Amino acid sequence: MWFDAILITVLFICVITDVKSRKIYNKVIFPALLIGVLSHMIASGWSGLFFSFKGFLLGLGLLLIPYLLGGMGAGDVKLLALIGALKGSLFVFYTAIYMGLIGGVIALFILLFRKGVITRIKGILYSMGCWKFGMRLPIFIEKEALTQTYPYGLAIAGGAMVCLLMKEVLL
């Protein structure tokens, strides 16, 4: 229950800062990480430290490649690593699954409700029609649409909350 309270508090703060300023601050993540790891170590000794470290590494590893490719912010990576350190590797694995689903839905809504959606859909359909006849044409997407970002911390927090609410079912 202690770890759930820490997690919910951190997620609440991170969602607000990520939506407002597109940043997840280290001054929120690092103290929570320290408290979580020390609490696991105090409660369970070396096995608690190993539990926390294993979850941390899995959370870090799941988003490290998207971060290195430039598709993810460092704060998002650290937030998922913190979730792993607090709740363990199995919890962070399920969180990542739900995070991906929620993130995809958010991205779809952003694509559908931004300016120029009709042009994008026409371009995609036209390109798909050309593929049928073996021609490859570029999909007509403006460069501005390719550089748009959204607060992925929202998807991470959503995935973690789904896991918290379904804890008895999943774990």
Which pair of structure tokens corresponds to residue 25?
């601050």
Angle between helices 153-165 and 74-87 (to 10 degrees): 20
Residue-wise pLDDT tens digits, 65-76? 999 988 888 999
Helix (H, G, I), strand (E, B) or coil at 73: coil
Say what the pLDDT of residue 134 is: 73
Going from N- to C-terminal start, the domains of the chain cover 2-170
Residue-wise pLDDT tens digits, 29-59? 999 999 999 999 999 999 999 999 999 999 9
